Each structure stands twice: as C-alpha cells, then as structure tokens.
C-alpha cells in the first residue's frame, strides 16, 4: 500500500530516521500554511526547552540514585517526544522509564538497583545524542 499524504508529500520533510515524518507531518498540518509555521515551530521549540530541563533533572536524579524520579521523567519525556515523532528519543525514554521501575527492557522485574542505574546512565547518554540529532534536523527545517 502506497503512502498517501493527500498530495502533501512535498511539504513533508525528510528528517532522517530520527523523526517519523508522518507523525511530524500531523503537527505541521496544524499550521495556518506552509509559509506560516509559527504554530508548529512554537511546539517544537517548546519541546526543546522542556527536554533540556528534563535532561538536567535526569542528571540530578541519577546522581541521587533516585530510580522513581528517573522513571517518572522518562515517562514524561517519552510522551512529549512521541507526540512530535521523535521515535528514537521516545524508545530510549521508555527504557529509562522501565529501568527506573526496576524492570528489564522487556518489562520483567530486575532487582539489582545498581544494574538499573548503570543502564539508565548508558541510555541517558544515548538519548541525549538522539535528541541532538533530532534537534539539529528540526532547527534546520525551521531555519533561522
């Protein structure tokens, strides 16, 4: 089955594999026009601020070995990144959420808190890199 974007294929940017273009396209559809991207731009740039604040809170929670807070923050960022189509960020945040709940990636219980914290530390590095990749693509799309 072919993708059908009602002829809007030219307006859907190729943002690489960091961003799901169909999901992101739904955000763009809320703009007044292709020439006026103020609405979607405000959502995206608001997300940037939110994500960076959340990463700071995650760093602090990691230092404090606060698994519950890490799980909560992972859940929070998972939702907002999913809304924009940032699939890699969403998937990594889901891992952080699970590890914070003392679960393995598949949801099975994991009693070793040190292992969970170690996994969160590694996943946090990964998600920050994925976020930077998506941020760069989106800032390029919206321009100066």
- pLDDT category at 34 given cuts 50, 70, 90 is confident
Summarize pLDDT for 105-124 with one digit per residue, the tens: 999 999 999 999 999 999 99
What's the predicted TM-score (pTM) here? 0.89
Instruction: Please report, for the chain, the start and end positions of each structural domain, with discontinuous segments joined by +.
Output: 18-24+36-139
List pLDDT tens digits, range 17-27.
Answer: 889 999 999 99
> Is there a contact between 79 and 91 (Cβ–Cβ < 8 Å)?
no
Classified by CATH at the fold level, domain 18-24+36-139 comes out as: 1.20.120
CB atoms within 10 A of CB 34: 10
Average pLDDT, the chain: 91
| Distance separating alpha carbons of residues 35 and 33, to the nearest angstrom | 5
């Amino acid at each position: 089955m072919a993708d059908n974007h009602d002829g809007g294929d030219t307006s859907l940017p190729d943002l690489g594999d960091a961003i799901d273009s169909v999901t992101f396209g739904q955000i763009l559809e809320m703009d007044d026009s292709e020439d006026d991207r103020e609405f979607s731009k405000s959502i995206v740039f608001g997300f940037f601020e939110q994500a960076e604040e959340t990463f700071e809170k995650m760093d602090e929670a990691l230092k404090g070995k606060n698994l519950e807070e890490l799980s909560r923050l992972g859940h929070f960022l998972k939702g907002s990144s999913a809304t924009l189509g940032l699939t890699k960020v969403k998937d990594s945040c889901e891992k952080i959420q699970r590890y914070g709940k003392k679960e393995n990636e598949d949801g099975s219980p994991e009693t070793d808190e040190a292992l969970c914290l170690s996994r969160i530390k590694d996943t946090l590095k990964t998600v920050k890199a994925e976020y930077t990749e998506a941020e760069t693509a989106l800032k390029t799309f919206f321009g100066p």
